[in-house]
């Protein structure tokens, strides 16, 4: 590429850069600044130093909400990464897979609010489909969203509903594997399992990392199931970090406090992302 | 060059579109003669509310009210309006928000717009409850919601429980629970007790306890009266098994009034506004005061007040609008709509309380009694925070503990609630 065409490309990046600065960097900086104030959305903020950070760190409910978000992430990231891979491998063996592809994508077309209400009914302890099925199998009913022991697991279980997008991404990624590579492994007598583990998985490894990273970020920021389905209950069993942040910001009007929570969380996520980035590069042999 | 021309043209169009008002003559007259009124509520309210407002607008050639309705729970939208200088002229808000709005100078005194004579027709509330702070009026009471004991009269009569008096003391209530258990077995709950603290208030006040003295920066959640009544409820749940644990009721995944309507519960404690949900029940029902010690009284909750962002050039129209909003002419809309008791007491006995002539007269009379005799609960500042962080977690424990542990739970509740009332962060 010549110097002039390269500089044209650079100019074309300017709108995206303006968007990134205006919509992400500046609000991020403003959030960090307001986290040092008692901003309550209605009056002018006053500087309070590190008071919000001190309060957040000593707030047991903050750590509880972090724990809940981590538990959710620990469940959702591996399952939402590996389950679509498994389904995609099976799907790649099916010849006419258009119908199945549509079926897997349908849950993603439904809005999160509608999804939440569908699942509230599925989980209904008295009249829900899940308990009806359990009872038909001779198993006892569960309280699902209404029990501190099962509420979070129920929401984790619900999250698997959206594995269709991951499946489609894997299928697209697998299409880029040259046919002759697969054929050659078959000619060499490799079993299906070996083909998957030695050819397909290494080939789609960057996609796996991409889906895992995306899943991690989305899971840590999960909000709507707790907000719509349980309101953080029972007994704060589903009080996700984002839900607690939202309550502080918009229900208790403690915007400065909520922004301190957000800043701590953002730094934490950045450190984690940096760690995983270093780990990935190390595995690839990049210095 | 052609591309350059296109870009310049585009910029000009964008500028003109963006600053369109710049090219228009100033519209001072319009801004001065229009009151922006914001309500948070169901979308179904829109059409009838608009009709009411239209009637006001027709009769007022000097100005008009412009109505904006946002869904219930969009308080953050209102907060953003206040934060960005887009506050409406009048809006309905929870009374518990009043001190915060005042501290933030988001609202103005309306003492010179509304006079005591205008408030005389309102419910018998004290000056403080009418939104008076240090002699200045900052809010007008708008909506109330009394709490009562809903009883399935048909079922109680089947169980041999007298319902003619429409009153019960706590001994009679216990006897009723026992009879329901004997006659109906475990499939029917005698009475539902929810985790909502507001539903516990009538029990507490019925025992002489005042858990949140109005205007104070401390709670009385550990007073002997509170401990006594909560121990009584705990005993009925944990030891006697006559009341269900709210957790056992949760498994139905439906609100109390639905279980009552489906005849899975003979009684429940709830807000009078739930009457609207029971219009088509297959049995005869009644609302009676929640059983108390002697002087039976029921909690009435002041839910909503009207506040203003005062603008001198609009004062006259603001005053007219406020008077219209608390007038019987406007308030009967709420009586028709959801049985939320409106500010104007005469509406309670209005024949249009619930369309279709329901509930019967004695129920309306009871509502009137509730409003006139019942105590009025004004939620304290930081109410949402206290409920989420202190009361709800402790009520959960309360219904699972031994009666001996109740006192300690109440002490913990009081200590945490007091800290929040002082504006401290409490966490869990």
Lowest mean pLDDT among B10-14, B75-79, B85-89, B336-340: B336-340
The stretch A100-125 carries a mean pLDDT of: 85
For the entire predicted model, the pTM comes to 0.79
d(CA B76, nearest CA chain A) in Å: 5
Q: What does the alpha-carbon distance between residue A83 and residue A85 come to, in Å, rounded to a whole number?
A: 5
Residues of B in contact with A62 (CB under 8 A): 427
**Buried (b) or exposed (e) across B136-157, using 16+ Cβ within 10 A?**
ebbbbbbbbbbbbbbbbbbbbe
- Give the model's confidence band at B351: pLDDT under 50 very low, under 70 low, under 90 confident, else very high: very low
Q: Which chain B residue has the Cα nearest residue A235?
A: B393
The stretch A142-167 carries a mean pLDDT of: 87
Residues of B in contact with A64 (CB under 8 A): 428
- Greater confidence (B42 vs A56) lies with A56
The residues, ordered by sequence, that sit 6+ positions from B426 with a Cβ below 8 Å of its Cβ are: A59, B385, B389, B390, B416, B419, B420
Interchain contact, B396 vs A234, CB within 8 Å: yes
- Greater confidence (B30 vs B205) lies with B205
The C-alpha angle B340, B76, A244, rounded to 5 degrees, equals 105
- pLDDT > 90 fraction of chain B, expressed in percent and rounded: 17
Instruction: Write down the pLDDT at residue B311.
Output: 67
Report the first-to-last Cα separation within chain A, whole angstroms: 27
Q: What does the alpha-carbon distance between residue B357 and residue B92 come to, in Å, rounded to a whole number?
A: 29
The reply to whether A60 touches chain B by the CB within 8 Å rule is: yes
Write out the H or E segment, with its range, that includes residue B412: helix B406-421
DSSP conformation letters of B83-94: HTT---SEEEEE
Instruction: Write down the pLDDT at residue B301.
Output: 77
Q: What does the alpha-carbon distance between residue B320 and residue B327 come to, in Å, rounded to a whole number?
A: 10
The stretch A101-124 carries a mean pLDDT of: 85
Contact (Cβ atoms closer than 8 angstroms) between residue B261 and residue B155: no
Interchain contact, A42 vs B100, CB within 8 Å: yes
The reply to whether B402 touches chain A by the CB within 8 Å rule is: no
Residues of B in contact with A145 (CB under 8 A): 253
Residues of B in contact with A238 (CB under 8 A): none
Angstrom distances, CA of residue A219 to CA of A64, A66, A169, A208:
16, 12, 18, 16
Interchain contact, A120 vs B253, CB within 8 Å: yes
Instruction: Write down the pLDDT at residue A287.
Output: 46
Instruction: Write down the pLDDT at residue A163.
Output: 81
- Give the model's confidence band at A12: pLDDT under 50 very low, under 70 low, under 90 confident, else very high: confident
The neighbour count for residue B410, using CB atoms within 10 Å, is 23
The reply to whether A34 touches chain B by the CB within 8 Å rule is: no
- Greater confidence (A203 vs A101) lies with A203
Interchain contact, B427 vs A235, CB within 8 Å: no
Instruction: Write down the pLDDT at residue B352.
Output: 36
The stretch A106-125 carries a mean pLDDT of: 86
Dihedral (CA of A251, A255, A260, A263) sign: positive
Lowest mean pLDDT among A14-28, A116-130, B3-17, B375-389: B3-17
- Give the model's confidence band at A41: pLDDT under 50 very low, under 70 low, under 90 confident, else very high: confident
Q: Which of A247-256, B37-46, B255-264 has the highest mean pLDDT?
A: B255-264
The stretch A66-76 carries a mean pLDDT of: 93
Interchain contact, B104 vs A120, CB within 8 Å: no
The reply to whether A55 touches chain B by the CB within 8 Å rule is: yes
DSSP bridge partners of B36: B66
| 203-222 of B, contacting A, C-beta below 8 A | none
Q: What does the alpha-carbon distance between residue B107 and residue B137 come to, in Å, rounded to a whole number?
A: 11
Q: Given a cut of 70, is residue B344 above it in pLDDT?
A: no
Mean pLDDT rounded to a whole number for chain A: 86
Q: What is the 3-state secondary structure (H, E, C) of chain A?
A: CCHHHHHHHHHHCHHHHHHHHHHHHHHHHHHHHHCCECCCCCCCCCECCCHHHHHHHCCHHHHHHHHHHHHHHHHHHHHHHHHHHHHHHHHHCCCCCHHHHHHHHHHHHCCHHHHHHHHHHHCCCCCCHHHHHHHHCCCCCCCHHHCCCCHHHHHHHHHHHHCHHHHHHHHHHHHCCCHHHHHHHHHCCCCHHHHHHHHHHHHCHHHHHHHHHHHHHHHHCCCHHHHHHHCCCCCCCCCCHHHHHHHHHHHCCCHHHHHHHHHHHHHHHHHHHHHHHHHHHHHHCCC
Interchain contact, B396 vs A124, CB within 8 Å: no
- What are the tens digits of pLDDT across the range B274-316? 877 787 788 988 888 888 876 656 677 777 888 888 666 677 8
d(CA B350, nearest CA chain A) in Å: 36
The reply to whether B98 touches chain A by the CB within 8 Å rule is: no
- What are the tens digits of pLDDT across the range B400-413? 888 889 999 999 99
Residues of A in contact with B71 (CB under 8 A): none
In this complex, the residue of B105, B382, B427 whose CB is nearest that of residue A61 is B427
The stretch B248-270 carries a mean pLDDT of: 88
Instruction: Write down the pLDDT at residue A261.
Output: 94
Instruction: Write down the pLDDT at residue B273.
Output: 76
Instruction: Write down the pLDDT at residue B224.
Output: 93
- Greater confidence (A70 vs B6) lies with A70
- What are the tens digits of pLDDT across the range B94-136? 877 887 788 778 888 888 887 766 776 665 555 566 667 777 8
Comparing C-alpha atoms, which of A218, A244, A246 is closest to residue A159? Answer: A218
The reply to whether B76 touches chain A by the CB within 8 Å rule is: yes
d(CA B266, nearest CA chain A) in Å: 19
Q: Given a cut of 60, is residue A121 above it in pLDDT?
A: yes
- Give the model's confidence band at A231: pLDDT under 50 very low, under 70 low, under 90 confident, else very high: confident
The reply to whether A31 touches chain B by the CB within 8 Å rule is: no
Interchain contact, A252 vs B100, CB within 8 Å: no
Instruction: Write down the pLDDT at residue B253.
Output: 78
Contact (Cβ atoms closer than 8 angstroms) between residue B198 and residue B173: no
In this complex, the residue of B82, B254, B392 whose CB is nearest that of residue A42 is B82
Q: Given a cut of 50, is residue B346 above it in pLDDT?
A: no
For residue A149, whether the previous peptide bond is cis, meaning omega lies within 30 degrees of 0, is: no
Instruction: Write down the pLDDT at residue B111.
Output: 83
Dihedral (CA of A44, A47, A52, A55) sign: negative
* Lookup: tokens for A169: 């991404």
Q: Given a cut of 90, is residue A239 above it in pLDDT?
A: yes
Interchain contact, B100 vs A40, CB within 8 Å: yes
- Give the model's confidence band at B368: pLDDT under 50 very low, under 70 low, under 90 confident, else very high: low
| 246-265 of A, contacting B, C-beta below 8 A | 247, 249-253, 257
Contact (Cβ atoms closer than 8 angstroms) between residue B151 and residue B285: yes
Report the first-to-last Cα separation within chain B, whole angstroms: 66
The stretch B146-151 carries a mean pLDDT of: 86
Mean pLDDT rounded to a whole number for chain B: 79
The stretch B64-70 carries a mean pLDDT of: 89
> What is the number of alpha carbons within 13 Å of residue B54 lying toward its C-beta?
6
Instruction: Write down the pLDDT at residue B209.
Output: 84
Interchain contact, B396 vs A251, CB within 8 Å: no
Angstrom distances, CA of residue B242 to CA of B21, B83, B188, B192, B201:
68, 50, 11, 10, 20
Q: Which chain A residue has the Cα nearest residue B74?
A: A250
Q: How many CB pairs under 8 A join A and B?
A: 78
The C-alpha angle B288, B290, B294, rounded to 5 degrees, equals 105
Q: Given a cut of 70, is residue B337 above it in pLDDT?
A: no
B interface mutation test: which of A11, A38, A39, A41 has the most B CBs within 10 A?
A41
- Give the model's confidence band at B335: pLDDT under 50 very low, under 70 low, under 90 confident, else very high: low
In this complex, the residue of A43, A120, A146 whose CB is nearest that of residue B250 is A146
Q: What does the alpha-carbon distance between residue A252 and residue B426 come to, in Å, rounded to a whole number?
A: 12
Instruction: Write down the pLDDT at residue A160.
Output: 84
Comparing C-alpha atoms, which of A31, A85, A75, A27 is closest to residue A201? Answer: A85
Comparing C-alpha atoms, which of B208, B205, B219, B216 is closest to residue B387? Answer: B219
The C-alpha angle A21, A23, A28, rounded to 5 degrees, equals 80
| 376-395 of B, contacting A, C-beta below 8 A | 382, 384-385, 388-389, 392-393
Q: Given a cut of 50, is residue B357 above it in pLDDT?
A: no
- What are the tens digits of pLDDT across the range B169-189? 889 999 999 999 999 988 899
Q: Which chain A residue has the Cα nearest residue B107?
A: A42
Residues of B in contact with A233 (CB under 8 A): 392
- Greater confidence (B328 vs A88) lies with A88
- What are the tens digits of pLDDT across the range A258-286? 999 999 999 988 888 888 778 777 776 65
């Amino acid at each position: 590429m010549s110097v002039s065409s390269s500089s044209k490309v650079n100019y074309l990046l300017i709108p995206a850069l303006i968007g990134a600065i205006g919509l992400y960097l500046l609000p991020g900086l403003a959030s960090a600044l307001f986290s040092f104030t008692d901003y309550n959305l209605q009056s002018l903020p006053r500087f309070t130093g590190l008071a919000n950070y001190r309060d957040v760190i000593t707030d047991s409910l903050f750590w509880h909400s972090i724990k809940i978000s981590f538990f959710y992430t620990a469940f959702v990231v591996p399952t939402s990464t590996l389950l679509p891979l498994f389904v995609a491998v099976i799907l790649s063996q099916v010849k006419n897979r258009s119908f199945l592809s549509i079926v897997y994508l349908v849950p993603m077309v439904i809005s999160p609010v509608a999804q939440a209400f569908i699942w509230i009914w599925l989980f209904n302890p008295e009249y829900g489909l899940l308990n009806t099925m359990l009872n038909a199998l001779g198993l006892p009913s569960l309280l699902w969203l209404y029990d501190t022991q099962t509420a979070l697991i129920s929401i984790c279980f619900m999250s698997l509903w959206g594995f269709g997008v991951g499946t489609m991404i894997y299928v697209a990624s697998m299409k880029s594997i040259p046919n002759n590579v697969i054929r050659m492994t078959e000619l060499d007598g490799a079993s299906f399992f070996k083909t998957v583990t030695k050819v397909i998985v290494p080939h789609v490894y960057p996609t796996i990392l991409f889906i895992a990273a995306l899943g991690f970020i989305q899971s840590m920021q999960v909000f709507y199931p707790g907000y719509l389905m349980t309101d953080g209950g029972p007994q704060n069993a589903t009080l996700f970090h984002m839900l607690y942040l939202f309550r502080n910001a918009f229900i208790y009007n403690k915007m400065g406090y909520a922004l301190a929570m957000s800043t701590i969380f953002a730094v934490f996520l950045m450190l984690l992302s940096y760690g995983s980035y270093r780990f990935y590069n190390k595995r690839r042999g990049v210095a | 060059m052609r591309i350059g021309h296109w870009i310049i043209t585009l910029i000009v169009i964008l500028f003109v579109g963006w600053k369109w008002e710049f090219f228009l003559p100033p519209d001072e007259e319009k801004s001065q003669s229009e009151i922006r009124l914001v309500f948070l509520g169901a979308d179904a309210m829109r059409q009838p509310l608009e009709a009411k407002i239209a009637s006001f607008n027709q009769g007022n050639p000097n100005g008009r009210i412009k109505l904006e309705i946002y869904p219930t729970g969009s308080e953050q939208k209102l907060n953003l309006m206040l934060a960005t200088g887009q506050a409406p002229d009048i809006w309905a808000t929870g009374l518990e928000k009043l001190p915060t709005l005042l501290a933030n100078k988001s609202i103005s005194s309306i003492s010179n717009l509304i006079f005591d004579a205008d408030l005389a027709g309102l419910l018998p509330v004290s000056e403080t409850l009418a939104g008076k702070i240090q002699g200045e009026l900052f809010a007008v009471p708008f909506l109330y919601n009394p709490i009562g004991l809903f009883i399935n009269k048909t079922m109680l009569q089947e169980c041999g429980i007298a319902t003619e008096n429409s009153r019960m003391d706590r001994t009679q209530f216990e006897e009723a629970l026992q009879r329901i258990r004997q006659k109906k077995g475990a499939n029917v709950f005698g009475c539902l007790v929810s985790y909502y603290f507001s539903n516990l208030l009538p029990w507490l006040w019925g025992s002489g306890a005042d858990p949140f003295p109005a205007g104070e920066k401390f709670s009385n959640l550990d007073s002997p009266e509170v401990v006594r009544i909560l121990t009584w409820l705990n005993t009925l749940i944990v030891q006697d098994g006559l009341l269900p644990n709210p957790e056992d009721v949760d498994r139905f995944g439906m609100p109390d009034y639905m279980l009552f309507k489906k005849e899975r519960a003979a009684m429940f404690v709830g807000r009078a506004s739930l009457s609207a949900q029971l219009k088509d029940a297959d049995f005869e029902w009644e609302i009676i005061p929640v059983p108390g010690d002697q002087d039976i009284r029921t909690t009435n909750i002041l839910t909503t007040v009207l506040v203003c962002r005062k603008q001198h050039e609009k004062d006259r129209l603001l005053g007219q609008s406020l008077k219209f909003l608390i007038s019987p002419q406007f308030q009967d809309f709420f009586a028709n709509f959801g049985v939320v008791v409106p500010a104007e007491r005469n509406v309670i006995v209005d024949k249009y309380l619930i369309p279709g002539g329901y509930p019967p007269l004695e129920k309306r009379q009871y509502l009137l009694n509730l409003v006139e005799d019942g105590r009025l609960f004004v939620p304290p500042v930081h109410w949402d925070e206290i409920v989420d962080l202190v009361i709800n977690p402790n009520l959960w424990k309360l219904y699972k503990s031994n009666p001996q542990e109740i006192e300690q739970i109440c002490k913990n509740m009081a200590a945490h609630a007091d800290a929040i009332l002082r504006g401290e962060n409490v966490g869990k």
